[in-house]
Amino acid sequence: MRTTKDRIRQAISFEVIGLLISTPLAAFVFGLDLGETGVLAAIGATMATLWNYIFNLMFDHGLKRFTGTTRKTLKLRFLHAISFEFGLMLALLPVIAWWLDIGLLEALVVDIAFVVFYLVYAFVFTWCYDTVFPDNDAGPASANQTR
C-alpha cells in the first residue's frame, strides 16, 4: 500500500498538472473568462484533491482485500477512473451551476466536458505515476494482469 506522503504527492501533482492543462482549455472551449474559469478550477481542484485522497485510499483497501494486491489491471484502471470521476461529477454539478450562474442542465454539459477530459487524464496520469513511483506492495506485473 502507498504511504500517506506518497498519496499526498500523487493527489497534489495530479491536480496541479490537471489545472495547468484544463483551465485554459475550458476557458477557450466555453468562451469563459480565464479568471472566472481559474477560480472554478481551483474550487474543483480542492474538492478533487480531497476526493482523490479518500477515493484512492478506499479503492486500494478494497482492492487489497478482494485480490490480495494493489496492482491494477487494465480493466481495474478503467473502473478506477470512471468511478472516481462519477463521484466527483455528482459533487461538482451544483458548484458549477452556482459559480457560473447557469442552470443544472448547462452545468451538466460543462461537468461532462470536464469528466471526459479528466477520465483520459486520470487514466494516463495514474499509469504514469505508478510507473515513475511504483507501489512496492503491488508486486511484479504478470501476464494475466495486463488484460
Whole-structure pTM value: 0.67
Is residue 43 situated within a structural domain? yes
Is residue 104 situated within a structural domain? yes
Is residue 144 situated within a structural domain? no
d(CA 93, CA 107) in angstroms, rounded, equals: 6
Q: How many residues does the chain have?
A: 147
Structural domain containing residue 110:
4-137
Residue pLDDT, tens place only, 55-94:
999 999 999 999 998 888 999 988 998 898 889 999 999 9
For residue 142, what pLDDT band results from cuts at 50, 70 and 90? Answer: very low
Is residue 143 situated within a structural domain? no
Output the nine-digit C-alpha cell for 81: 477512473
Is residue 146 situated within a structural domain? no
Q: What angle do CA 99, 102, 106 make, to 5 degrees?
A: 115
pLDDT, residue 118, reads 83
Q: What percent of the chain has pLDDT over 70?
A: 93
Is residue 147 situated within a structural domain? no
Residue pLDDT, tens place only, 112-121:
998 888 888 9
